[in-house]
């Protein structure tokens, strides 16, 4: 059975104005490479595309390595001789009995609804996505006849003065009939200022063959914008973040300032979530209901359960925070950490690859690494788990209801038994039995005649 739709994504350009060794389509937008956005949009089309082909060039095999997937084929364009030549390279990887949608790896924000409208409008003809611009400089102009029918797409370098005044421009995105595609591509010429094979020339060939050409206008300019420079990348970043902020607020999230939030991945939030300014969310972050995020926090691949509060200036990565916890300010959580309910992790406390049970607290100036901490444990200021011997990491176990005084060193592997108390300033290198007090014997010496040195 033939595929309903092919998608060809042109991603071979160098991006000279990016001034970077990285291929243009691999530059990040909202936490994901430009090409990644386009692939995700293509995959979300309904019905789903039968075949996806990415045409790559500059950057060698970096693009295929980055996006290797079972549903994606890659065609190399070498040398780069224009958009028509690029689509020619994809022909061996697509079903020519199906329609082909041509997208661009550096146009990341095009909406699914827009592409669906283009595909539907193209019918059995050729569909062209256009947009109205106040300043159309640099874009191919849409030339229509007196009846409004599209008769040509003229590139900027080849346009007359009259044609350059046209505000409706070609976005480059097209829906092409499969049965005609190979013949049209073979008929393209390169008699133009650039000496390239323009895909836009298929419009003339379609009209020659009496194939209807239908133009669909995008509703918004931003979804058709491409990236050719770092300035344009930054402009699209703000557009993407503004869309995300608006979507979050429509879901009920309270943002202190919608212009000062960055979501570089997927942020899922429950009811009555409040987010202060300058917060960054990376990867997959899930916030339960009644969660508060203070100013200047970074959360990466974190789950925060209902009712928890993240105070300002926290850096949380790769872990789970239970319900009604209080984290920060200035706390750090590293990957592999799981906090139970009502846990407190205070200022300048770092927790790494550890579990902390219900009601446990490390309120200030502590390091808990590679540890299992039970329920209702209190970890005093200056306490550290000495988990690394220079070659290997070792485990510390602190059982329920343990009280650890200030400035304690727990030298792993070690277990502190249930209900024990560890005195301030103690170095623990042997297992501590349940209950009772453990401390290192010390003598406090007072020298009344001692004089402090002076300069």
299, 432: one domain: yes
261, 174: one domain: no
Q: Token match 């836009």: residue?
A: 200
Query: Tokens representing 94?
Result: 């697509």
The H-assigned helical ranges of 44-150 are 62-67, 83-90, 112-122
Predicted confidence at residue 191, as pLDDT, reads: 83
194, 261: one domain: no
In a 3-state reduction of DSSP, which class is residue 386?
strand
275, 162: one domain: no
Which one, of 202, 7, 213, lies nearest residue 104 by Cα? 7
The last residue of one of the domains, among 224, 251, 267, is: 224
372, 264: one domain: yes
Which one, of 237, 301, 294, lies nearest residue 266 by Cα? 301
Q: Is residue 449 part of a domain?
A: no
263, 207: one domain: no
211, 248: one domain: no
pLDDT in tens, the chain (455 residues): 345 899 999 999 888 899 999 999 999 999 999 999 999 999 999 888 988 999 999 888 999 999 999 999 999 999 999 999 999 999 999 998 899 999 999 999 999 999 999 999 998 899 999 999 999 988 889 999 888 889 888 888 889 999 999 999 999 999 999 889 999 999 999 887 788 898 989 999 999 999 999 999 999 999 999 999 999 999 999 999 999 999 999 999 999 999 999 999 999 999 999 999 999 999 999 999 999 999 999 999 999 999 999 999 999 999 999 999 999 999 999 999 999 999 999 999 999 999 999 999 999 999 999 999 999 999 999 999 999 999 999 999 999 999 999 999 999 999 999 999 999 999 999 999 999 999 998 888 889 998 888 88
Query: Tokens representing 336?
Result: 């592999």
Length of the chain: 455
Q: Is residue 443 part of a domain?
A: no
The H-assigned helical ranges of 134-229 are 161-164, 178-186, 202-208
Domain count, the chain: 2
Radius of gyration over every alpha carbon of the chain, rounded to an integer in angstroms? 31
Q: Is residue 447 part of a domain?
A: no
281, 369: one domain: yes
Packing angle, helices 178-186 and 83-90, rounded to 10: 130
How far is the C-alpha of 129 from the C-alpha of 288, rounded, in Å? 40
346-351 long-range Cβ contacts below 8 angstroms, 24+ apart? 351/319
Q: Is residue 127 part of a domain?
A: yes
Q: Is residue 444 part of a domain?
A: no
Q: Is residue 303 part of a domain?
A: yes
Q: How buried is 390 (Cβ within 10 angstroms: 0-12 exposed, 13-18 middle, 19+ buried)?
A: exposed
- Global pTM reads 0.91
Q: Is 364 a catalytic residue?
A: yes
The last residue of one of the domains, among 194, 224, 254, is: 224
116, 174: one domain: yes
Catalytic residue among 364, 392, 403, 446: 364
Predicted confidence at residue 416, as pLDDT, reads: 98
277, 199: one domain: no
Q: Is residue 196 part of a domain?
A: yes
* 242 membership: H or E segment, kind and range: helix 230-250
How far is the C-alpha of 40 from the C-alpha of 54, rounded, in Å? 13
Complete DSSP assignment for 403-448: EE-SS-EEESSEEE-TT-EE-TT-EE-S-B-SSSEE---------T
Q: Measured between alpha carbons, how far is residue 59 from residues 77, 145, 176 in Å?
A: 11, 42, 28
Beta bridge partners of 438: 422
Cα-to-chain-centroid distance, residue 75:
25
Which one, of 391, 432, 392, lies nearest residue 410 by Cα? 432
- Find the CATH number of the domain harbouring 313: 2.160.10.10
203, 324: one domain: no
- Find the CATH number of the domain harbouring 107: 3.90.550.10
Which one, of 1, 11, 110, 92, lies nearest residue 55 by Cα? 11
218, 250: one domain: no
Q: Measured between alpha carbons, how far is residue 1 from residues 70, 215, 269 in Å?
A: 19, 29, 41
Predicted confidence at residue 2, as pLDDT, reads: 43
Q: Is residue 107 part of a domain?
A: yes
Going through 155-291 in order, the beta strands assigned E by DSSP cover: 168-176, 213-217, 254-255, 261-269, 274-275, 279-287
What is the residue range of 351's domain?
Answer: 230-438
Within 8 A by CB and 6+ apart from 328, the residues are 294, 297, 310, 311, 312, 313, 314, 345, 346, 347
Which one, of 146, 92, 160, 153, lies nearest residue 126 by Cα? 153
The last residue of one of the domains, among 208, 224, 240, is: 224
């Amino acid at each position: 059975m033939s595929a309903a739709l092919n998608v060809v994504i042109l991603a071979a350009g160098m991006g000279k104005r990016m001034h970077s060794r990285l291929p243009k389509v691999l530059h990040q937008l909202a936490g994901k490479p430009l090409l990644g956005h386009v692939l995700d949009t293509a995959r979300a089309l309904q019905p789903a595309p039968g075949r996806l082909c990415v045409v790559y060039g500059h950057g060698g095999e970096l693009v295929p390595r980055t996006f290797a997937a079972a549903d994606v084929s890659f065609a190399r364009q070498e040398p780069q001789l224009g958009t028509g030549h690029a689509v020619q390279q994809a022909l061996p990887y697509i079903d020519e009995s199906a329609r082909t949608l041509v997208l661009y790896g550096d146009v990341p924000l095009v909406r699914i609804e827009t592409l669906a409208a283009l595909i539907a409008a193209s019918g059995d003809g050729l569909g062209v996505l256009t947009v109205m611009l106040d300043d159309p400089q640099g874009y191919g102009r849409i030339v229509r006849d007196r009846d409004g029918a599209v008769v040509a797409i003229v590139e900027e370098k080849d346009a007359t003065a009259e044609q350059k005044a046209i505000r409706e421009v070609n976005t480059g995105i097209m829906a092409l009939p499969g049965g005609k595609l190979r013949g049209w591509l073979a008929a393209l010429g390169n008699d133009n200022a650039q000496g390239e094979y323009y895909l836009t020339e298929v419009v003339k060939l379609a009209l020659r063959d009496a194939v209807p050409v239908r133009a669909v206008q995008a509703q918004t300019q931003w979804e058709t914008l491409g990236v050719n420079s770092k300035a344009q990348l930054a402009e699209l970043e703000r557009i993407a973040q503004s869309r995300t902020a608006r979507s979050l607020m429509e879901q009920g999230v309270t943002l202190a300032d919608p212009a000062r939030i960055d979501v570089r991945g997927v942020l899922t939030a429950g009811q009555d979530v409040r987010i202060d300014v300058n917060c960054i969310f990376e990867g997959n972050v899930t916030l339960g209901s009644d969660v508060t995020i203070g100013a200047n926090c970074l959360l990466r691949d974190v789950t925060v359960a209902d009712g928890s509060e993240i105070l300002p200036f926290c850096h949380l990565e790769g872990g789970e925070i239970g319900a009604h916890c209080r984290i920060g300010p200035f706390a750090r959580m590293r990957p592999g950490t799981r906090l139970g309910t009502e846990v407190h992790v205070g200022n300048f406390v770092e927790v790494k690859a550890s579990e902390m049970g219900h009601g446990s607290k490390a309120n200030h100036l502590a390091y808990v690494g590679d540890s299992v901490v039970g329920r209702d444990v209190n970890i005093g200021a200056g306490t550290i788990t000495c988990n690394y011997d220079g070659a290997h990491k070792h485990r510390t176990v602190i059982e329920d209801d343990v009280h650890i005084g200030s400035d304690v060193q727990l030298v792993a592997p070690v277990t502190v038994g249930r209900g024990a108390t560890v005195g301030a300033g103690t170095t623990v290198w042997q297992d501590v039995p349940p209950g009772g007090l453990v401390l290192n014997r010390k003598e406090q010496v007072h020298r009344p005649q001692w004089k402090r040195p002076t300069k």
